Amino acid sequence: MQFSENLRIGIKSILVHKLRSFLTTLGVIFGVAAVISMLSIGEGAKREAVEQIKLLGTNNIRVNQLKLTGEQAEEAEQKNSRGLTYRDGQLIRENLPSVKGVTPVRFVETEIMLGNKESNGRVVGTDETYQWVTNFHPSEGRFIGALDVAEAKRVCVIGSEIRSELFGYRNPVGRRIRIGDTWFVVIGVMEAKTVKEGKASVIKLRNINKDVYIPITTALKRYTDEDRPNAVEEIAIQVEKEDQVVPTSEVVKRLLNRTHNGVNDYEIIIPAELLAQSQKTQRVFNIVMGSIAAISLLVGGIGIMNIMLASVTERTKEIGTRRALGATERDILGQFLNETIMISVTGGTIGIILGVVMAKAINLFAGWETVISLFSVVISFGISALVGIVFGIYPARQAAKMDPIAALRFE
């Protein structure tokens, strides 16, 4: 018998008991919704990580200063490690001629003023390579140059939001702003860059549109930290090709291990690892959602099976009649299996819709990025069909194996 006939028969008998069919599908609905929202969160986190990687640059290695506490801090003191320093950057540059650029980044905690106007931006000391490593360029004026760094000049490049905060629509290039106690000449404005502040992120992204860049040398000289002179928060290392990232990071690790006397007061981040890390943070969530999904699918499946068994008994006479009219065992099996699959797939479809709504809600209320992928929709649909097959096969067999004579006598 043709599939379309089974479909038609199935729709008819499902519509006879609309409420019952709907209640039967609830388990599948929630199970599938859980699957969809779980996958959407995973996908969202992945996309966020990919975005970060892009921001970081696939050819970049980032070395971050780690804040040590308690015993670790004591150990660092004993072993005479002074944290990540400008000197580390220079060492990397000297020892690894293959790297394309080594960019130090130092954050300076101080105020940014224009007249009486204060901006809550962030002062970042770096050098000329920064714009290439981060692929982030000025839209007006120029970036810090090698000479500015060499001579520790008092020049700065401001982010697009700082510019509108302090200058409005006036041209800031050539004007002076006060950073801490020192006056700086604005030499450029950075292009505006959209930055999504992800919640599930591994690395914290600051709003780089609020950065004010000054030469690293100026930052070290004018805003000295007594405890940690020459300290930097970050060193970004750029290599020529992607496949050099891992070997280079290993060499860097060995080098820093030596200069830091074995103290782990820094972390080395390579882009490819970001993804793995974000997936690691997702794991607990996935286990919880996965269990909810599995349990509701199981309960839903059993519910469907239960209803189908009742339906088979209820329709004994119909089965006998169909057999008398020429239906084979396979026809009957197909009819009931098809009906079960239709119920669960209908539930699956509703579940997909509910899951999409849930993903949107999670995005709205929890702020997590969620992405509904075609894959997740397909897989959910597949799962619901599978539930139909697994839990439908037994009732369908019961129907098919029914003795036609006994079925006809049934009242």
Ligand X SMILES: Nc1ncnc2c1ncn2[C@@H]1O[C@H](COP(=O)(O)OP(=O)(O)OP(=O)(O)O)[C@@H](O)[C@H]1O
Nearer to ligand X, 73 or 405 (CB): 405
| CB closer to another protein, 264 vs 316 | 316
**3-state DSSP helix/strand/coil percent for the chain, to nearest 5?**
60, 15, 25
Q: Is residue 378 close enough to count as binding ligand X by CB under 6 A? A: no
Tokens 């007249």 sit on residue:
115
Contact between 324 and ligand X by CB under 6 A: the answer reads: no
Task: Compute the radius of gyration of the chain from its Cα atoms.
Answer: 32
Our CB check for ligand X shows the closer of 259 and 316 to be 316
Q: List, as own/partner pairs, every contact residues 389-394 make where C-beta atoms lie below 8 angstroms and the sequence separation is at least 24, other chains included.
A: 389/337, 389/340, 389/341, 390/301, 391/301, 391/302, 391/304, 391/305, 391/308, 391/340, 391/344, 392/304, 392/305, 392/308, 392/336, 392/337, 392/339, 392/340, 392/341, 392/344, 393/337, 394/305, 394/309
End-to-end C-alpha distance for the chain, whole angstroms: 27
Displacement of CA 190 from its chain's centroid (Å): 27
Beta carbon of residue 17, minimum distance to another protein (angstroms, whole number): 10
Interface with another protein, residue 180, by CB under 8 A: no
What is the closest distance, in whole angstroms, from the C-beta atom of residue 411 to ligand X in the complex? Answer: 13
Please list every residue from 299 through 318 that binds another protein, using CB under 8 A. 317-318
Interface stretch with another protein, choices 11-19, 245-253, 265-273, 281-289 (CB under 8 A): 11-19
Query: Which are the contacts of 336, defined by CB distance < 8 A and separation ≥ 6?
Result: 308, 311, 312, 392, 395, 396, 399, 400
Which stretch, 5-13, 150-158, 272-280, 281-289, contacts another protein (CB under 8 A)? 5-13
Q: Of residues 38, 124, 156, 327, which one binds another protein by CB under 8 A?
A: 327
Q: Which does 331 bind (CB under 5 to 8 A by kind): ligand X, another protein, none?
A: another protein
> Applying CB under 6 A, which of residues 72, 406, 407, 411 lies at the interface with ligand X?
406
378 binds, among ligand X, another protein, none (CB under 5 to 8 A by kind): none
* Closer of 16 and 364 to another protein (Cβ): 16
**Is 13 an interacting residue with respect to another protein (CB under 8 A)?**
yes
How many Cα atoms occupy the beta-carbon half-sphere of 404 within 13 Å? 10
Binding mask 375-404 for another protein (x = CB under 8 A): -----------------------------x
Q: Name the residues that contact another protein, by CB under 8 A.
A: 1-2, 5, 12-13, 16, 317-318, 320-331, 404-405, 408
